[in-house]
Amino acid sequence: MERPAWAPRSIDITVPSVARMYDYYLGGLHNFEVDRQAARRAMEFMPGLPKVMQANRAFMRRAVRYAVGEGITQFLDVGSGIPTFGNVHEVAQEADPRARVMYVDHDPVAVAHSQAVLEGNDNADILAADLRKPREILESPGVHRLIDLNRPVALLLVAILHFVEDADDPYSAVAELREALAPGSMLVLTHASYEGIPLPPERAGGAVDVYKDIRNPLIMRSREEIARFFEGYDMVEPGLVPPPRWRPDSPPEDEDPFAFSGFAGVGRKA
């Protein structure tokens, strides 16, 4: 298999990556045939997967604009993925040129691309680190250069926690990040769930099995389990809802039924 010039030498391009599959669903160009094959296999069970991803991204952009409107100019985006059009730094810096954005991802392709995209942008950077090791994120010199943890920060955990298994204790990781944030900080979160998917669970389960096969299990949690990530935060109206129902720009009724899969919400730390 030909290795494109943009692919870091360190990565195995014969193994699918969830970051590159996400890029494929969004119409991006930074994915390999192995990623496209896995994504198409998942789409055989859930043809609406690209709509789910698009709804996640659209929610993220609305939430970033909301946070800037509430006076937040610092963003910590953990599990940021491969940069595509309308990324956090673009949305935030368009709303307020002073906005600072620290991306965090453990996928080498996501990190390499983010470095290329962010070159020359002094107010945005990428850190190679893992959500499951919050200390590494919080103690990183890169984070300290851009983010003042004594002032409110918007912590973004968009479409990432459903890749963290219960054995890795995602609740503790999220709580540790929360503890490090100043009062007035926000948590912006989306999470996959069987609730809202316009298919029988066993059919959607076929797509979940594809992720299990590529050793990146997709953990479908209930609304109640997802709400637990917001402990220590006051929910911003309208609460934890399907992505198109969170402060929509256009009538949710116009959205594709798959866009309502899973949950999205924003909380503010008291």
| Angle (deg, nearest 10), helices 49-69 and 18-25 | 90
CA distance 62 to 140: 28
pTM (2 d.p.): 0.95
Q: Report whether 154 contacts 75 (CB < 8 A).
A: yes
CA dihedral 234, 238, 242, 245 (to 10 degrees): -150
Domain residue limits, the chain:
18-269
Task: Give the sign of the dihedral formed by CA 64, CA 26, CA 248, CA 211.
Answer: negative
- The strand pair at 100-105 and 124-128 is best described as parallel
Q: Report whether 193 contacts 226 (CB < 8 A).
A: yes
In b/e form, how buried is each residue of 28-62, taking b as 16+ CB within 10 angstroms?
Answer: bebbbebbeebbebbbebbebbbbbbbbbbbbbbb
Would you give the end-to-end CA distance of the chain in angstroms?
52
pLDDT per residue as tens, the chain (270 positions): 677 777 777 778 889 999 999 999 999 988 999 999 999 999 999 999 999 999 999 999 999 999 999 999 999 999 999 988 789 999 999 999 999 999 999 998 899 889 988 999 999 999 999 999 999 999 999 999 999 999 999 999 999 999 999 999 999 999 999 999 999 999 999 999 999 999 999 999 999 999 999 999 999 999 999 999 999 999 999 999 999 999 999 999 999 999 999 999 999 999
CA distance 58 to 258: 14
What type of residue sits at position 63?
A
Architecture label for domain 18-269: 3-Layer(aba) Sandwich (3.40)
CA distance 39 to 239: 31
CA distances from 259 to 43, 87, 93 (A): 14, 19, 27
CA distance 80 to 68: 18
CA distance 125 to 99: 12
Neighbours of 215 (CB within 10 A): 8
